[in-house]
């Protein structure tokens, strides 16, 4: 596959990371009734909102076969986050996946970079991806990531921007892949991970580009808890229903006070995005991305599942 030079630069915010592990596809949590789409007629629907109750929503990522995130996903996710911010009744949202084996993965390599960089800044003044993640973290609504399958690149960053993360012990994989392709992440993991798991472990995740399974993610604090897969859905549903019964203003007040001492400032998130845009256009990064595409990234399941293995096979373009 010959990759357009601009398309080679497009891996926005954070791509996927994945090691040999997950051959079996993960079962996604059953969708409750009352589904409503965050609709964009020109694109297939990748983001679904399900109102379990007026106070408790599910936001489901659904872009098979690998839940790749691209510029076409941005307005759909933005619609969902805007509804979270503005709906007067919702108190808790759970992010999950309808795609077996993949929570949410990397940015789409194929569209030109201009499809992303031409988008107007969001409400925070940040570019769209860091804007949405910053707004999610500060929304007066509790957000929970239910991670079954691979949360890599943008998927890891969405999980990190959520207030809580719960993972399948057997089927969850979290990672930041970008180092393997020669560029920096852009969706906030350098700002968020050290605050969450400490400097040394954050550097291990970011500089190795390797997979962190559910059990290790729990030990590191990358997720709140990891459960046997059969117990994950029940725990998250019960927690979300419990939170949904509490007073919304009190939930928002508590979250806002915690945010003051725990969230990175927007300028840190913006700086990461700038670093990503710069680094992804370097010749070394573009050469590595083209090698990955030729190996079968976005087309071959084995490459998506075992991405850290394949990054280890790349030729060093600097030599």
Q: How many CB atoms sit inside 10 A of residue 308's CB?
A: 21
Q: Which two tokens mark 99? A: 């795609």
Q: What is the pLDDT of residue 316?
A: 80
Give the CA angle between residues 59, 60, 63 to the nearest 5°. 140
Nearest residue to 90 (alpha-carbon basis) of 39, 131, 34: 34
pLDDT band of 87, cuts 50, 70, 90: very high
The stretch 220-247 carries a mean pLDDT of 98
What pLDDT was estimated at residue 110? 86
- pLDDT (0 to 100) of residue 319: 66
Strand-pairing partners, residue 48, are 37, 60
Residue 39 has pLDDT above 50, yes or no: no
Total residues found in the chain within this entry: 319
| Cβ pair 192, 163 in contact under 8 A | no
The residue from 170, 178, 218, 304 that is catalytic is 178
Asked if 27 is an active-site residue, the reply is: no
CB atoms near residue 295 (< 10 Å): 17
> In the structure, what pLDDT confidence band is assigned to residue 78 with cuts at 50, 70 and 90?
very high
Residue 26 predicted with pLDDT over 50: no
CATH numbers and ranges of domains, the chain: 5-233+247-311 (3.90.226.10)
Residues 50-75: tens digit of each pLDDT = 999 999 999 999 999 999 999 999 99
Of the pLDDT bands very low, low, confident and very high (cuts 50, 70, 90), residue 318 is low
Q: How far apart are CA 178 and CA 206, in angstroms?
A: 8
- Alpha carbon distance, N-terminus to C-terminus of the chain: 23
Q: Over 80: is that where the pLDDT of 310 sits? A: yes
pLDDT band at 36 (very low <50, low <70, confident <90, very high): low
Q: Looking only at Cα atoms, what is the longest distance across the chain?
A: 60
- Whether 93 has a pLDDT exceeding 50, the answer reads yes
To the query of whether residue 268 is one of the catalytic residues in this protein, the response is: no
What is the structure's pLDDT at 257?
97
- Is pLDDT above 60 for 40? no
Task: Give, in degrees to the nearest 5, the angle at Cα 260 between 259 and 264.
Answer: 75
Q: How far apart are CA 148 and CA 171, in angstroms?
A: 6
Task: Give the C-alpha distances (Å, rounded to integers) separating 101 from 96, 97, 98, 148, 313.
Answer: 12, 9, 9, 7, 24
Q: What is the mean pLDDT of residues 129-146?
A: 98
**What average pLDDT does the chain have?**
88
* pLDDT for residue 109: 81
Higher pLDDT, 104 or 20: 104
Q: Which pTM value belongs to this model?
A: 0.86
Percentage of the residues of the chain whose pLDDT score is greater than 70: 86
Nearest alpha-carbon partner for 128 in 41, 39, 42, 13: 13
Count CA atoms within 13 Å of residue 81 on its CB side: 23
Which token pair is 175?
A: 């990672």
Please report the pLDDT score of residue 9 as a whole number.
41
Q: Which is the catalytic residue, given 157, 170, 218, 304? A: 157
Which one is predicted more confidently, 14 or 90?
90
Give tens-digit pLDDT for 186-207.
999 999 999 999 999 999 999 9
């Amino acid at each position: 596959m010959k990759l357009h030079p601009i398309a080679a630069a497009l891996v926005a915010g954070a791509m996927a990371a994945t090691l040999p592990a997950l051959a079996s596809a993960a079962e996604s949590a059953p969708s409750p009734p009352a589904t409503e789409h965050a609709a964009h007629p020109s694109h297939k629907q990748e983001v679904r909102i399900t109102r379990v109750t007026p106070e408790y929503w599910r936001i489901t990522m659904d872009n098979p076969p690998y839940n790749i995130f691209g510029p076409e996903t941005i307005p759909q996710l933005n619609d969902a986050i805007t509804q979270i911010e503005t709906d007067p009744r919702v108190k808790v949202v759970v992010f999950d996946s309808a795609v077996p084996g993949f929570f949410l993965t990397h940015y789409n390599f194929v569209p030109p970079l201009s499809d992303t960089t031409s988008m107007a800044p969001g409400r925070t003044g940040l570019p769209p991806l860091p804007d949405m993640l910053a707004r999610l973290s500060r929304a007066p609504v509790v957000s929970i990531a239910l991670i079954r399958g691979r949360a890599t690149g943008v998927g890891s960053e969405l999980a990190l921007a959520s207030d809580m993360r719960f993972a399948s012990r057997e089927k969850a994989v979290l990672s930041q892949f970008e180092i393997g392709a020669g560029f920096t992440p852009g969706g906030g993991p350098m700002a968020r991970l050290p605050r969450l798991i400490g400097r040394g472990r954050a550097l291990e995740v970011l500089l190795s580009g390797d997979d962190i399974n559910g059990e290790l993610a729990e030990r590191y604090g990358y997720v709140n808890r990891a459960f046997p897969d059969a117990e994950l859905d029940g725990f998250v549903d019960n927690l979300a229903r419990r939170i949904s019964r509490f007073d919304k203003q009190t939930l928002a007040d508590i979250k806002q006070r915690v945010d003051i001492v725990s969230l990175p400032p927007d300028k840190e998130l913006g700086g990461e995005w700038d670093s990503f845009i710069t680094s992804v256009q370097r010749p070394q990064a573009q050469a590595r991305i083209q090698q990955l595409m030729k190996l079968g990234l976005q087309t071959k399941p084995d490459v998506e599942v075992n991405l850290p293995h394949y990054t280890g096979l790349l030729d060093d373009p600097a030599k």
